A and B are shown apart, each in its own frame.
Chain A
Amino acid sequence: MPERVMFTMGDIACAEGALSAGCRYLGGYPITPATEIAEWMSIRMPQVGGAYVQYEDEIAAITSVIGASWTGVKSMTATSGPGVSLMLEAIGLAVMTETPLVIVNIMRGGPSTGQPTRGQQGDIMQAKWGSHGDYQIIALTPASVQEMFDQTVQAFNLSEKYRTPVFVLADETVGHMRERLVIPDEKDLKLEYRKTPTVDPKDYLPFKADDDLVPPMALFGSKYQFYATGLTHDERGYPSDKENVQIELVTRLQNKILHNADKIIDVERIELDDAKIGVIAYGTPSRSAKKAIKDARNEGIKAGLLRLKTVWPFPEKQVAQLASEVDHIIVAEQNLGQVYHMVKAVAAPTPVHLMAKPAGMPQLPHEILTKLRDVNSM
């Protein structure tokens, strides 16, 4: 399809991004503020030969997505925090069986039912630590309608490449606001597809990784036989309670993300070259911060912004570099401080100041400016 231009909502841009990435299955359950993704997909999926399936709960929704992915169809779910809480068990299963899929979380106020119609960024740590056991996850944080499209495409690419669930973590403001969206010509999109086995079926070891630590993935209906299980398994896929098998598996699952962190992580550095104060933000607060640093520079305060487009794996190198360049770091996020703790651990001894806002309206530009003035006078 040739290039298209729309003035549309972040949620819809996300859905279109998924379709452009080749997603043909969405297993979902309606939830504010992600419902528009379900509604849009219910119209669009049949047009492209795909399926929008509405399940009895989020547990069934994401589990069906794992099943769909094992047929080779790019698959996703879209939800909000309460839905992710129900999906955590299956996220662990997807990690353990190395299933490519995308989970969109349009973040709303929590805990519990919280404020369904008000945005927040309270699910950053949930995305990383929600399911039990040790594992790594990839999570992207778009800040505009165009990025909802672009980063959803990227989420599918990363999930296919590394055979892992990938989160799109957008705050409600980004999900619900409308902006111009340019959907590129499909021939200009670079899409990734999971690698499949090429060996003789009798020699196939379903969980034997290549040098990139990712094993080729056989699909249902192919000539390859395999057993995939949430139990700890060896290279054959067979359950094992041996200590070395457990250590090797969880270490590889971790390293296939961490060893490729440089290729996965995306940040934007704005006005940082001569900055004395670095603001770190993502999603809607990063747009407030962008305005605040501009105003601060007009007052002679040398401020800059490190905008995180990836929060997991955590951009440690990029934050460490920032910490070595500036005198102070301010973290502005729409929660009581989640990325803040990661920044603090990496940035020491550079002082890190938290601007927490656990509510629907993000930090306003002038509020961040006031903080910049305060920190500048320290």
Chain B
Amino acid sequence: MTESTPVLRHPMSKYIREDRQPFIYCSGCSIGIVTGMLARAIDNLGIDINKTVIVSGIGCTGRTSGYFKTGTYHTTHGRAIAFAEGVKIANPELEVIVVSGDGDISAIGGNHLIHACRRNIDMTVICINNMNYGMTGGQFGPTTEHERYSQTSPRPYGNLEHPFNLVKLAASSGATFVARWTAVQARRATKSIEKAIEKEGFSFVEIIGACPTAYGRMNRLGDGVTMHKHLLEVAEIQNGLPPHEAELDYATKIICGEFVNIEKPEYTAVLAEMQRKAKGE
């Protein structure tokens, strides 16, 4: 037996299941970066990881929860938010974070998203938007831009549909904190994730990411490095801009920043008050 040599460990590895490395993400994918943002946000806030619950749905981003060393759950497609609502209401002491993709959260899970925004349950939803269904090979979804190509909107036709703007959707549905960043704005995005976690209300953080393997290839957007460089070029920071002006056009301009930070009675706090009254306390 040889003596084991000390290995240099990643500072965030205390939160990550190293026995599940490497990540399943393709090279050039943004999801690993966002996983790092979340780990750093938890670390910066100094919150108890054991009291933090991380939930995902289905898809590439849906695998994120499983890499964290805490209570984590991988729901069926689109249901991460609904699951998280049950967790938070049943035990409001827990910090509940949903990380999932644009297809999961805004297509099959779209109804749960808007109603959770409306209900205002204290939780943080991080939506990594790579503008297509990556895991299944790159089909168009509700965030795919008009006329873009995908496996189900192939050349020469392109996408017949028009995309959701998730910032506008979350804001108009009643979310109390709404922000958008690209995957390359790691420091600012991490700060927004921290604010979202601290916010007592429903927080929605969209991270525009790159899927070079599927979306990038089909739309000839270049490799992972090229796509991330592009994101940096077109990102335009406009903190405090009214959310309905937070435009998103992959080719030319992605408005980034924090757009909503409002106060509204939070569901579990109101419920606790109702319980006290009902018990005659």
Does B bind A?
yes
Q: Is the Cβ of B89 less than 8 Å from the Cβ of A63?
A: no
Q: Are B279 and A227 in contact (CB under 8 A)?
A: no
Q: Shortest CB–CB separation between residue A43 and chain B, in angstroms?
A: 8
Residues facing B in A277-330 (CB within 8 A) are none
| Interface 0/1 of A39-75, CB less than 8 Å to B | 0000000110111010111011101111111111101
Query: Cβ of B72: which chain A residues have Cβ within 8 Å of it?
Result: 225-228
Contact of A63 among B20, B75, B279 (CB under 8 A): B75
Q: Give A233's nearest chain B residue, CB to CB.
A: B74
Nearest to A225 among chain B residues (CB) is B69
- The verdict on A47 contacting B278 (CB below 8 Å), with A53-B85, A56-B112, A238-B20 known, is yes
Is B232 interfacial (CB 8 A cutoff)? Answer: no
Contact indicator A221/B94 (Cβ below 8 Å): yes
A57-99 at interface with B (beta carbon < 8 Å): 57, 59-61, 63-73, 75, 89-90, 92-93, 97
B66 to A229, Cβ gap below 8 A? yes
B84 touches A67 (CB 8 A): yes
Q: Determine if A68 and B87 form an interchain contact, defined as CB atoms under 8 angstroms apart.
A: yes
B73's partner among A59, A70, A75, A222 (CB-CB below 8 A) is A70
Tell me whether A59 and B79 are in contact in the complex, defined as CB-CB below 8 angstroms, given that A47-B278, A220-B53, A220-B91 are known contacts: yes
B44 contacts chain A at the CB level, 8 A cutoff: no
Q: Mark A86-123, 1 if CB is under 8 A from B, else 0.
A: 00011011000100000000000000000000000000
**Minimum CB–CB distance for A196 against chain B, Å:** 13
The reply on B45 being an interface residue by CB < 8 A is no
Whole-angstrom CA separation of A68 from B92 in the bound complex: 11
The reply to whether the CB of B25 lies closer than 8 angstroms to some CB of chain A is no
Q: For chain B, which range describes its interface: under 10, 10 to 19, 20 to 34, or 35 or more residues?
A: 35 or more
What's the Cα separation between A132 and B103 when bound, in Å? 23
Residue A242 CB within 8 A of the other chain? no
Chain A nearest CB from B170 CB (Å) reads: 15
Contact A228 B73 (CB under 8 A): yes
User: A239 in the interface, Cβ–Cβ < 8 Å?
Assistant: yes
B236: min CB distance to chain A, Å? 34
Which one of A220, A223, A227, A228 has the highest number of Cβ atoms from chain B below 10 Å of its Cβ? A220
Q: A49-B275, A223-B50, A230-B74 are in contact. Are A66 and B83 (CB under 8 A)?
A: yes
Our pick among B73, B79, B91, B93 for the contact of A60 (Cβ within 8 Å) is: B79
Does B261 lie at the interface of the complex (its beta carbon under 8 Å from any beta carbon of A)? no
Q: Please give, as numbers and ranges, the residues of chain B lying within 8 Å of A230 by CB-CB distance.
A: 74-76
A73-B90 contact, Cβ under 8 Å, with A46-B275, A63-B83:
yes
Q: Is A231 an interface residue (CB 8 A)?
A: yes
Q: Is the CB of B73 within 8 A of A63?
A: no
Question: Is the Cβ of B50 less than 8 Å from the Cβ of A222?
Answer: yes
Contact B76 A93 (CB under 8 A): yes
Give a binary string over A323-348; 1 marks a CB under 8 Å from any B CB, 0 the rest.
Answer: 00000000000000000000000000
Tell me if B86 is interfacial: C-beta within 8 Å of chain A: yes
Docked complex Cα distance between A63 and B91 (Å)? 16
B261-275 interface code vs A (CB 8 A; 1 in, 0 out): 000000000010011
Residues of the B chain whose Cβ atoms lie less than 8 Å from the Cβ of A162: none
Answer whether residue B61 sits at the interface, using C-beta atoms and an 8 A cutoff.
no
CB of B65 within 8 Å of the partner chain: yes
**Interface: A176 (CB within 8 A):** no
**Docked-complex contact B71 and A225, CB < 8 angstroms:** yes
Q: Does B70 belong to the interface (CB within 8 Å)? A: yes
B275: A residues at CB distance < 8 A: 46-47, 49-50
B279 touches A49 (CB 8 A): yes
In the complex, the answer to whether A67 meets B50 with C-beta atoms within 8 Å is no
> Counting CB contacts under 8 A, is B51 at the interface?
yes
Q: How far is the CA of A71 from the CA of B83 in the complex (A)?
A: 11
B115 at the interface (CB under 8 A from A): yes
Chain B residues, Cβ within 8 Å of A194: none
- Beyond A51-B271, A63-B79, A230-B74, 11 extra complex contacts between A and B, CB < 8 Å: A25-B89, A56-B111, A70-B87, A73-B91, A75-B86, A93-B79, A221-B50, A225-B71, A226-B71, A228-B74, A230-B76
Q: Which 4 residue pairs are nearest across A and B when measured between Cβ atoms?
A: A67-B86, A64-B86, A68-B90, A46-B278
> A residues bordering B, Cβ < 8 Å?
24-25, 27, 46-47, 49-51, 53, 55-57, 59-61, 63-73, 75, 89-90, 92-93, 97, 218-231, 238-239
| A–B Cβ pairs within 8 angstroms, 21 of them | A49-B275, A51-B90, A53-B85, A53-B89, A55-B82, A56-B112, A60-B85, A63-B79, A63-B83, A67-B84, A67-B87, A68-B86, A69-B86, A93-B76, A220-B94, A221-B53, A221-B93, A225-B69, A225-B71, A227-B72, A230-B75
